[in-house]
Amino acid sequence: MSIKGLNMIGPHYVCVLYVATAGLQGPLMGSDEQEIVLLIYVIVDVVHNKIDSPRSVVPRKAHMFTWRE
């Protein structure tokens, strides 16, 4: 079903986002708060009923410290 020709009120694009973090599993899940290790997103054109190809991003740490004694 296409919605072409309709006056759509609202967003013409929607972003579907998946975020993965690293950390403990099982009963300890959520207790160690790790950084985001992977972002995957897809842009959906709701007017033309099309999905953009999925894209992924692997974040790097903002600050890398090297400790020397």
CA atoms within 13 A on the CB side of 19: 6
Asked whether residue 33 is domain-assigned, the answer is: yes
Distance separating alpha carbons of residues 48 and 37, to the nearest angstrom? 32
Asked whether residue 19 is domain-assigned, the answer is: yes
CA distances for 27 relative to 3, 12, 19, 21, 22, angstroms: 46, 41, 21, 16, 15
Domain boundaries, position 33: 13-57
pLDDT, tens digit, 9 for 90 and up, residues 25-61: 888 887 777 778 888 999 999 888 999 888 888 877 6
What is the model's pTM? 0.59
> In total, how many domains does the chain have?
1
- pLDDT-based confidence at residue 2 (cuts at 50, 70, 90): low
How would you class 42 by CB atoms within 10 Å of its CB: exposed for 0-12, middle for 13-18, buried for 19 or more? middle
- pLDDT-based confidence at residue 69 (cuts at 50, 70, 90): very low
